[in-house]
Structure 1
Amino acid sequence: MHLLKRFSNETAREYAYRMLRDNIISLELVPGSTASVYELSEKLGISRTPVREALLELNRTGIIEVYPQKGNVISYIDFEAANEARFLRLAIERAILEEVCDLVTEKDFEELEFNIQLQKVALQNHHTDKLLELDNEFHLKLFQIANKERLFYIKDSLYIHFDRIRSIRLAAINDDRIVCEHKKIIKALKDKNKEELRHAIDSHLSGYSKEEQDTIRKAYPEYFLENQIK
């Protein structure tokens, strides 16, 4: 389990939730594994109560499941759940980009383009965790430009199923899709072309083709719900 420093203004429950969420998305906590309250509290250096609260919050999203004999278990990957989250994200980001198109400045473009340069470096070095982090920062910047930063964090818990698929795709398929699609978003913003902007975000959040899904399933068959049912 990969641990990061606790923020100064972060409660124990918030810290536990952030660490659990990040490690589930990055697959440090693999699907089907148990999440022991005692072990997690020891690793995080906090009491058991905030860990239980964080697990309960994640249980509401369906990413943690509770079984009488096994306790808290990381859910297996379900493409249907991920697609529901993707649908919501697409609806929100379409609206965000409409506002960004009217508000974006040259300084904003510089920051977005610098982020893309860092994405290229992460891609070349096969640092998938860093690439996912930079992808998130790119989209956070868009929310900030639209003055909707709080919305970016509110929706976090709703996207977790889709974010886990994003993470596993980066590990299974080594291509520059993210970088290319982010470039298209920036170009449409520079051109003030809202129709092209909609096409760019639709393509970026369109989900995964059957071929991509098959590649991901083949790379990590033990992580998928359908393989457990069989």
Structure 2
Amino acid sequence: MTRDTKISAAEHCYRTLSRKIIGLELKPNEPIGEHAMAELLGVSRTPVREALSRLSAEGLVDIRSRAGVVVAPIRMDAVRTAQFVREQLELAIVAEAARQSNRRILLGIRQAIEEQELAIQEDNSDLFFECDERMHALYCSLAGRDGVWGFISDAKKHMDRVRRLSVQAGQLDQLVRDHQEVLDAVTTGDVNRAQEVMKLHLRRVMIDLSELSRRFSSFFAPEAAQAAD
């Protein structure tokens, strides 16, 4: 596997493992062997170990004495915290975005939504999420707060795994409708409406959390089913 030579081997390992965990390619409680991962990524075991230590600090992997390193199950407390932080930041962003006017960025947001519709038609969830990330990042740009997207991205990692499960449960059409309503409100400068729709949009996953934890019980920590009620 090739990697960007501008980043360190440890950073390459971290980004790759993080993407695989958040994208559910590596599933909760699945073991991560240092040797096998080093071979897969084309690096020594040291950067893999450094990446795993970082992921452990973020709560995305668990280091167990007997089982070694495994992908952490989804924990409700982490999801709720991630949702809270993301909501506060994105509501502030969309309010500022609605007070701005930049036709180029607004066009970029509209194109991202159109590509999401195409992704649904092609049953391409990876493309859908790629466009979703781009769209939300563009709102930060429209608000003149590009750097905030990095904070949001870091904060929402635990929530993103749940979002992936919600896609498997079939919510994409509604999410696109939300996106269009937010864009319409931002375009017309309706701050209150933009925040109202964005809040509802970001909470959709939380509304269905109980159902998701029952349907995908193997992905969640044992206490999740009870905590979700």
The Cα of 1:90 is off from its aligned counterpart by: 0.5
Overall identity of the aligned pairs, in %: 26
Greater CA deviation, 183-192 or 42-51? Answer: 42-51
Change in 2 beyond 3 A, CA 1:128/1:106: same
Write out aligned runs for 1:16-55 (5 A).
16-55=13-52
Flag the 1:118–1:34 CA change in 2: closer, same or farther, 3 A.
Answer: same
Is 1:223 matched up with 2:219?
A: yes
Q: Select 1:167's aligned residue among 143, 157, 164.
A: 164
Q: Is the 2:74–2:220 contact (alpha carbons within 8 Å) kept by the matching residues of 1?
A: yes
Which of 193, 198, 207 lines up with 1:196 in the alignment? 193
Matched-pair contact (CA < 8 Å) for 2:95–2:192: no
The TM-score normalised by the length of structure 1 is 0.89
Query: Cα distance 1:96–1:36, how it changes in 2: closer, same or farther (>3 A)?
Result: same
Moved more, 26-35 or 122-131: 122-131
Pick aligned residue for 1:206 from 197, 203, 206 = 203
Residue 207 of structure 1, CA deviation: 4.2
Alpha-carbon distance between aligned partners in 2 of 1:16 and 1:162, rounded to the nearest angstrom: 21
Give the conservation status (yes or no) of the 8 Å contact 2:91–2:198.
yes
- More off after superposition, 84-93 vs 36-45: 36-45
Verify the 8 A CA contact 2:99 2:191 in the aligned structure 1.
no
Question: Which residue in the other structure is 1:125 paired with?
Answer: 122
What is the match of residue 76 of structure 1?
Answer: 73
Match of 2:29, SS? coil
CA contact (8 A) 1:108 1:145 kept: yes
Partner SS for 2:123: coil
1:207–1:175: structure 2 CA closer, same or farther, 3 Å change rule?
A: closer
Point out where structure 1 has 5 or more consecutive residues left out of the alignment.
none
Work out whether residues 34 and 48 of structure 2, in 8 Å CA contact, stay in contact via their aligned partners in 1.
Answer: yes
- Once the two structures are superposed, the pairs formed by residues 50-199 of structure 1 within 5 Å of their partners are 50-199=47-196
TM-score normalised per structure 2:
0.90
C-alpha separation between the residues in 2 aligned to 1:209 and 1:100? 25
Number of residue-to-residue matches in the alignment? 226
Structure 1 position 189, deviation (Å)? 0.6
Return the offset for 1:140.
1.1
How far 1:205 sits from its partner (Å)?
A: 0.9
